[in-house]
Amino acid sequence: MASKRVPTSPYPDQKPGTSGLRKKVPVFRQPHYVQNFVQAIIDCIPERKGATLVIGGDGRFFNKEVVQIALKMAAANGFGRVLVGQDGLLSTPAASCVIRKHGAIGGIVLSASHNPGGPEGDFGIKFNGSNGGPAPESVTEAIFARTKAIGDYRISDAPDLDLGRIGTTEIDGTTVEVIDPVADYAELMRTLFDFDALSKMFASGFRMRFDALSAVTGPYAKAILEGALGAAPGTVVNGEPKPDFGGHHPDPNPVHAHELFDLMHGPDAPDFGAASDGDGDRNMIVAPGLFVTPSDSLAILAAHAHRAPGYAGGLAGVARSMPTSRAVDRVAAALKIEAFETPTGWKFFGNLLDAGRITLCGEESAGTGSNHVREKDGLWAVLLWLNILAATGKPAQDLVREHWAKFGRDYYTRHDYEEIDAGAAKRLMEGLRAKIGTLPGTKVGGLTVKAADDFRYVDPVDGSVTEAQGVRVTFAEDARIVYRLSGTGTAGATLRVYIERYESAPDRLERPVADVLGPVVAVARALADIEAITGRAEPSVVT
């Protein structure tokens, strides 16, 4: 077989967002669209000759076709070896694990994470570097620049490979290894957690439900929870990855994982409930009768991480994305370790992890992780929770309430206004930014503004600066509102409004969330003129 150069023309819309290039499937199916972006990625890897590349994705619609394209392009561009998950599957955290374990120069990860799949659904392509993490902005900007100048791409005319069979083959001098997508990841989990203690806990009658939402985490959860740890058959539900996620919206939150949420709030709730998302990097934790917010989950994991073997030496530090509640900051203060606040996007944790400044990190959007890989990791978070439960012998709901009693509670909610007019979204944010200087000291709906700013991040490792990451408004009443436009949607604009309020009085720790946050929600809507500018009286999703 031979490689060939195919003439092409640039597409103007291939700018990567918070986590790679995400568009609707019909956009990616345009002639040369995938090839242009993949070639732009490859052109930004100057040391690719003879290097190892990892390829895999979450199994959503169009995944198999793009894996074949990427394999043939990797061969035509001189990579020495390509590792690809069986059937084209690799969860995002597993891809990071494989990159790091095998010394790869990077990986092409195919996923739109928690976004819906199917022929009219979403698709995504991103590049992860040799540390296993999402490419930094300097690289994604270089990729975008290359997409605007591309004139041809290189691809082998070899036939499609059989990705269902584990083994080694060759394309135009490039070795292609189809690997078990679970093996390396499961091996890493054994080094972090006490599998013997977890097995004993399940053997004693401990019951859990893990909803994989018909996405990529299913095989990983079955192999580890039901296989290695001996959880009862059927513990993992919706465990077979499907191109359309079985009709599920693969976002692990109480709205989209409502079957699990309802079960955990019902009369025969198991001891622990969890779910993961489309590509396996997010998680939802539900105790019997009690939903654990991602912000609280991060804080509780930080407080108890030392109970797992992989973190027995303590934490170097912690980090959270700016919109995430300040709950983990309170734990860090008690542990006397550093706490960092970063922009949204896992790539911003990468420098801190690589520099050894932090061990745990997380985002309010259900992403939690540690220094074991350079991505958020849904199943890892579940296993850390289970290890803590096994080590303490306490029910999950008791651990949450004990945490609130010790540190106080950060009541928290997020309001998403999805697919709003992009121009209206821009006007809304510009209006907020124009008010920043005049807000401190003013009263809005019974709350007094203490401070307001447009979040600006200076990376403490390399000094790079990231501007305009969201408008923060804090109040004297220990409340906070954050306004931010999301970078993960594929249509229109998504306005995210994050609302929180801290309470520490013992008699105020278990009040209805809506009662505590209602006044702050009203202020958030009024302050930004959301309905007048967007035409939306209510958010699309509340989590």
Question: Can you tell me whether residue 207 is helix, strand or coil?
Answer: coil
Ramachandran bin of 364, using left for φ above 0, alpha for ψ from -120 to 50, beta for the remaining angles: alpha
Question: Does residue 504 carry a catalytic annotation?
Answer: no
Determine contact, residues 235/226, Cβ cutoff 8 Å: yes
Selection from 330, 257, 260 nearest residue 296 by Cα: 330
- Three-state SS string over 272-319 comes to EEEEECCCCCEEEEEECCEEECHHHHHHHHHHHHHHCHHHCCCCCEEE
Question: Can you tell me whether residue 174 is helix, strand or coil?
Answer: strand
Residue type, 330: R
Bridge partners, 483 (sequence order): 471, 497
| Residue located via tokens 């975008």 | 144
Distance between alpha carbon 476 and the CA centroid of its chain, in Å?
Answer: 32
Determine contact, residues 417/437, Cβ cutoff 8 Å: no
d(CA 407, CA 70): 49
Marked catalytic residue, from 113, 156, 214, 365: 113
DSSP class per residue in 501-539? EEE-SGGGSSS-HHHHHHHHHHHHHHHHTHHHHH--SS-
Q: Mind telling me the catalytic residues?
A: 113
